[in-house]
A and B are shown apart, each in its own frame.
Chain A
Amino acid sequence: MSQRKVLQGNIIIAKAALAAGCDFFAGYPITPSSEIAQYMSKEMPKMERAFIQMEDEIASLGACIGASLAGKKALTATSGPGFSLMQEHLGMAVMAEVPVVIVNVMRGGPSTGMPTKPSQADMMQARWGTHGDHPIIAVYPAFSDEIFSETVRAFNLSEKYWNPVIILLDEVLAKAHMDVEIPDPGSYEVYWEKTHEISDLNIYDRNIGENPPRIDFFHSYPIHIDSLEHDAHGWPSFDAKTVDKMQRLRMEKIYHNLDDIIKYKEYFLDDAEVLVFSFGISARSALAAVKMAREQGIKAGLFQALTVWPFPRAALQERFKKTKKVLTVELNMGQMKYEIERIAPPDVKKQTLLRANGLPFSPGEVLETIKEFVK
């Protein structure tokens, strides 16, 4: 039987990670994510799984990548300043195609910013934070049950596509105690990619669009993994044709599988005149606002992105065929609104509700903006 519990958002993530088979955690203390490390430090030794507190966030992600290459499912958790430090190794995980899950509990920025206040201002950093062209997957739960399911899904996607996956979470939800349903093991998918037996070094040899097989160290045949651009054997190569193929292999494993990766929720959108686009804590206020609007006879609906990267472009464009007004609600000075501007046709009117002062939106504020917009 599934269990109903009252748990902090951070603890839901930790429990879900363990349920998804996470057997390695390396982290560094930072508000507002520290409870994840604390919970792991207590529970993981009981399960003979590895926990270590490292000397900084760069080291934390480094250790996770190392452990992942040694066959573990690795997790680290941090917030803005630590996420900035992790960008170097985020790129390493992309380049070497290593599954790893990174939680970023977003807080007010830039710099040390507001450690105890929420913001949604790392959206673009999650996409483009590390240097170079790279694919990335980022999920963003808003409701308590989603925090569990999206964490499990993050591990599955990471294992399946051999790519780092970022879980974004709001400071408010990380700290709040919420009613949550912890599902039974077995009632949700846990993806285990069996390590492939290999007999040669050509570990990256595959066709464009194909998923990479899981390749680990210490698996009968010694292999080489490199942070430099490499050929199918994993060793350094700057040959233009080879590099071109490797760049495409990394990108297309994600872009060929958007249907599997992209997840979103739609509320009251079938006859909507105004589409509210939001995610995370803002989507919760937006959902309440949309319901209030409906009670007042305003045809509003909500598009809640659960996968924020890759951006749910096709699903939104489908909605823009009928709904000609879009309101982007986000707790920052305007980041995902540019994605909406990029994909929405010119005949769709665009409005935003933005703020970055540490206060989440109330449903009333979103409702007022909807009312102004439909006038």
Chain B
Amino acid sequence: MRDYEKYIRYRTFPTPWCPGCGDGVILKSIAMAFAELKLDPDDIIVIAGIGCSGRMPTYFNTNTLHTTHGRALTFATGIKLAKPEKLVVVVSGDGDATAIGGNHLIHAARRNIGIKMILINNGIYGMTGGQVSPLTPPKFFTETTPYGNIEPHFRIRMLLSAAEASFVARETVNRLMQLKQVIKKSFLHKGFSVVEVMSNCHVNLGRRNKMKSPLVMTEYIKDITCSMADFEKLTPEEQENKYPLGIFVENTQRMEYTDLYYNHIVPVAQQSGAKGEK
């Protein structure tokens, strides 16, 4: 047994994911990050909302919670505030995190509460059969954009930076070791962190856009991504269709929310209480 396997709950297998799905790579990379940090499984909780990503917690041999659509961050906020010393991980898909859960996403970033979010971006609602999501690229065909997507897609990197997120990164399922490394780094970060993972849904997005095999789709992910250094050399027009990779924001100056609450608000309140104010 490899060291990361103790974080995987094999008795709940098989997973509901299609053969070749990027979710398996992400599951493994998260487990590997747990193993490298030598965490006690009972000190971890993995939470998810609804969708293909929603099923991921079931397969971790840690505390796990499967919640409602888009709301995983709200449960995570309650758990983190109740038990600040625990590692609280949220796994969320692009529809879950940026459509129905968009409000919770920006507020978790603004609060800088120490939740570790893995945002799986496959650009589609996979579990419901392939409908357009806020991260589906323009012009793509989906079940609900039969004539091509006319809506622009969210740029998670900029959206979260505007919401003052203190850790924002992007990786792809093509690069397991880099992915594990950046996830591990996000786990060590004090505040709210988001690692966006570009993943392949060849079944529900690729199939309708001439990329029906996982290999073709991961090749496409390779084509549209590049390093930040390469990205900066591109013209604005070229940048439109490229996704830079790496850590974009890493702010260690901002205080984490539960740290502020228990180490600043609580003493202030107790002092004012001692003065006899009511």
Q: Which residues of A contact B (CB under 8 A)?
A: 24, 26, 42, 45-46, 48, 50, 52, 54-56, 58-72, 74, 88-89, 92, 217-228, 235-236
Contacts and interface: CB of A to CB of B under 8 A. Distances in A.
A89 B71 contact: yes
Nearest to B78: A66
Contacts of B67: 62, 92, 227
B219 to A, nearest CB: 34
B75 A62 contact: yes
B66 A225 contact: yes
Interface size grouping (class) on chain B:
35 or more
A247 to B, nearest CB: 19
B41 A222 contact: yes
User: Residue among B55, B63, B272 with the most chain A CB within 10 A?
Assistant: B63
B74 A66 contact: yes
Contact of A224 (B44, B58, B76, B79): B58
A373 to B, nearest CB: 47
Contacts of A236: 55, 58, 66
A70 B79 contact: yes
Contacts of A228: 66
Contacts of A222: 41-42, 44, 61-64
Contacts of B42: 218-222
B66 A227 contact: yes
24 contacts: A26-B77, A46-B272, A50-B261, A54-B107, A55-B107, A58-B74, A59-B103, A59-B104, A62-B77, A62-B78, A63-B74, A66-B77, A67-B78, A69-B65, A70-B83, A70-B86, A71-B82, A88-B68, A217-B65, A219-B42, A220-B42, A222-B64, A224-B57, A228-B66
B270 A46 contact: yes
B235 interface: no
B78 A217 contact: no
A235 B58 contact: yes
B57 A70 contact: no
B150 interface: no
B82 A24 contact: yes
Given A62-B67, A92-B67, A223-B63, A52 B77 contact: yes
A58 B43 CA distance: 27
A69 B79 CA distance: 8
A45 B270 CA distance: 7
Nearest to A45: B269
B12 interface: yes
Contact of A225 (B43, B64, B76): B64
